[in-house]
Structures are given as C-alpha cells and as structure tokens.
Structure 1
Amino acid sequence: MAEVVTKGVGKVERTADRAEVSVSFETLGSTRQEAVERLTARIAGVEPALERPGVEVRSRQLNVHDNWDGRRRSGSRATQNYVVRVDDVTALDSLLGALVTAEPTWLHGPTWQLKDDADAVREAQREAVLDARRRAEGYAGALGARLGPLHRLTDGDAEGWAVESTRMRTAAYGGAPGVPPQMDELNLEAQQITVTVRCTASWALLD
C-alpha cells in the first residue's frame, strides 16, 4: 500500500514563571587564609538575600588557589560561585539589586524557565500532529488520492529529536566595582518561552 511520510512542528509560547541567576564573588589575599577571610566578609551581606522566600540556592561552590607569576607565587585567590533559582519572579528585582550592590565579580542572568511545561508540551504535540496531517492531506490531494489511516508516529524528526524549550533573553554584568547598573534600566520582565515539538508521521494513501 502506498504511503506518505510527513513532518509536523508545533510551537507554543508561555510566559516564564521561574528564573535562574549565576553570580560569582572573588577576592585576593597574600595568603589563602587572607583571601578566604576577605571573601567571607564580602559575601556576608549576600547570604541573607539568598534566604528569602521563593529563592533557592541550587549550587554554592568555593574555590581557593594560589596565583603564580612564572615560578613565583604571587598571592592567593578565593572565589564563591552561586547558582540561584527564583520561583517568585516578583522577587527578582530586589534579589538582583542586593546581589549587584554586593559588587559581584560576575553576574549572569536571569535565564527564564517554566516550572512545569507539561501543558505546553501537550498543546505543542497536538499542533505538531495537525501540521503533519495538513501536509499529508496536501500531498494526497496533489496525487489525486485520499489520506488513509495513520500507520506510524515518531517523536522528533525520526532521529531522536524531541522537545526543546527556547529560553529568551539573558543578561550579564561584569562591570567595574562600585559602578553597578541601574536596576530600573534593566529589562527584567518575564520573557516568553517557546516550547517546540516535532513529529514524523506515516499515513496510508487511498485511491
């Protein structure tokens, strides 16, 4: 029996309801202990900001090492890296304000996410199947045939491709100490996330 194979794409947009931020603080000292002591003092005002409701520290990593100038040791460096998840996006402005005020060495974010993309995925799946069917009906009509029953449906492009979420707009700050950006100048509005589903379908062709 003749058949036609088509690919369908479904895309659904949702407003992000979760954000993730990466931030690093770095200090120097003549010894490792001195570098760590300076780092501890520097992040003393940061930790309380990370204990707010709706804020979760996903990763907290300390790195301490010596600096070298050729074969000569030239002091030590201490770094604290955080990955912070914000489930209450209304608290994002104040959290970033607190982090920037503490003069981080590097701040990257927010990266926008969805807490639960199940509904969006299901809707995108329906759109992908409808798209594949519309294409198949077009080919059937072009051949003077009728579209028969579905033989096979594969998630993705028949090559293991599945669901993707496009996270929109991230920002980064690595400016000079003491010169933080103005928070009201940053676009911190929750962005749209596109959930994309692809499928490959095989349909029977009827005379």
Structure 2
Amino acid sequence: MAEVVTRGVGRAERTADRAEVQVGFETTGSTRNEAVDALGTRVADVEAALRAPGVEVRSRQLTVHDNWDGRRRSGSRAAQNYVVRVDDVDRLDELLAALVAAEPSWLSGPNWQLKDDSDAVREAQRGAVADARRRAEGYVEALGARLGPLHRLTDGDAEVWAADNARTMAAYGGGAPGAAPEMGRLNLDAQRITVTVRCTAAWSLLD
C-alpha cells in the first residue's frame, strides 16, 4: 500500500520555575592546611546562605593541591565548587547577592529549568502530530488522493530550550569588595522555556 511520510514539529512555552547556579571559590596558603582553613572561612557565609528554604546544593566538590614554580613548591591552593538548585525563584536574587558578596572565583548562571515539563511535552506532542498531519494533507491534496489511517508514528528527540539562558555574573565588576550588588540592575526574572518535540508519521495513501 502506498503511503506518505511526514515530519512534524510541536512547541510549547512555559515560564521557568527552577534555576541552577554554579559557583566556585579558591584560596591559597603556604601549606595545604592553611589553604583549606582559609577556604573554610571564605565559604562560611556562603554555606549559611545555601541552607535557606528552597535552595538545594546538588554538588559540593573540594580540591586541594600544591602549587609549583618549576620544580619548587610554592604553597598550596584549595577550591570548593558548588552546583546549586533554587526551587523558589523568588529567593534567587537574595542568594546571588550573597554569593557575589563572598567574591567567588567564578559564578555561572542562572540556568533556567522546569520542575515538571510533562504538561508542556504533551502539548508539544499534540502540536507535532497536528503539524505532521497538515503536511501529509498538503501532499495528498497535491496528488489528488485521499489521506488514509496512520500507519506508524516515531517519536523524535524532545528538546528543552531556555530563552536567553546564558547568564554570567561578570556584569558585577567594580564596586566595593564585599558589598552586595544591586541585583535589580540585571534582568533575573524567570525566563520562558520552550519545549520542542519532533515526530515522524506514516499515513496510508488512498486513491
């Protein structure tokens, strides 16, 4: 039996309700213990901020190593890197202010996410199937035939895209050391997330 095979794309938008931030702190010392002690002091206030409601530390990684100048040991370095999830986005500004005030070595985020994308995926799936059917109907009409039943439906890869997702705290350069930045200067409102679904459909082609 003749058939027509078409691809469809469906999209659904939702406002992000979760954010993820990555941040790292580094300290140095003449010995490893001295570097680690300095790091503990550096992140003490950070650890307190990370215990706030709606904030979850997804990863906490410590590294300690010696610095070398050629073959000569020149002190030690300690670093702690965090991956932090914020489920209460209303607390994001407060958290970022605390992190920046602690003068991290680097900070990346927020990366916007959805806590549950199932509803958006279903909406995008409906759109993808409808798009595939519209394309099939167009081909059938061009052939002067009729569109028959659906034979096969293959799910493509679902993709989640966050509009304007790349953010950096480098914009906070300047200002007094240790002073909390004015978070309102950056647009840290929750971004719109686009969920994209693709499918391939095969329809029977009737005379």
**Taking structure 1 as the reference length, what is the TM-score of the superposition?**
0.94
Provide the rounded CA distance (Å) in 1 between the counterparts of 2:162 and 2:194: 7
**Contact 1:103/1:180 (8 A) holds in 2:** no
- 1:71, distance to aligned residue in structure 2 (A): 1.1
| 1:70 equivalenced with 2:70 (yes/no) | yes
Aligned to 2:167: 171
**Contact 2:98/2:180 (8 A) holds in 1:** no
- 1:180, distance to aligned residue in structure 2 (A): 6.8
Provide the rounded CA distance (Å) in 2 between the counterparts of 1:186 and 1:131: 38
Q: Which moved more, 1:132-141 or 1:27-36?
A: 27-36
**Contact 1:20/1:84 (8 A) holds in 2:** yes
User: What code does the residue aligned with 2:158 have?
Assistant: V
**Contact 2:97/2:180 (8 A) holds in 1:** no
User: What code does the residue aligned with 2:110 have?
Assistant: P
* Paired residues for 1:94-173 under 5 Å: 94-156=94-156, 162-168=157-163, 169-173=165-169
Partner deviation per Cα, 1:54-113 (whole Å, 9 max, x = no partner) = 000000111000111111111110001010000000000000001111111111000000
**Contact 2:3/2:204 (8 A) holds in 1:** yes
Provide the rounded CA distance (Å) in 1 between the counterparts of 2:206 and 2:196: 31
Provide the rounded CA distance (Å) in 2 between the counterparts of 1:185 and 1:72: 46
Structure 2: stretches of 5+ with no match in the other structure: none
SS in 1 for 2:154: strand
Provide the rounded CA distance (Å) in 1 between the counterparts of 2:25 and 2:47: 12
Q: State the identity %.
A: 73
Partner deviation per Cα, 1:121-180 (whole Å, 9 max, x = no partner) = 000000000000000000000000010000000001xxxxx1110123231235578277
**Contact 2:18/2:87 (8 A) holds in 1:** yes
SS in 2 for 1:66: strand
Matched residue count: 202
Aligned to 1:41: 41
Structure 1: stretches of 5+ with no match in the other structure: 157-161
Provide the rounded CA distance (Å) in 1 between the counterparts of 2:31 and 2:162: 41
Aligned to 1:7: 7
* 4+ runs deviating over 6 angstroms: none
Q: Superposition RMSD on alpha carbons, in Å?
A: 1.4
Q: Which moved more, 1:163-172 or 1:183-192?
A: 163-172
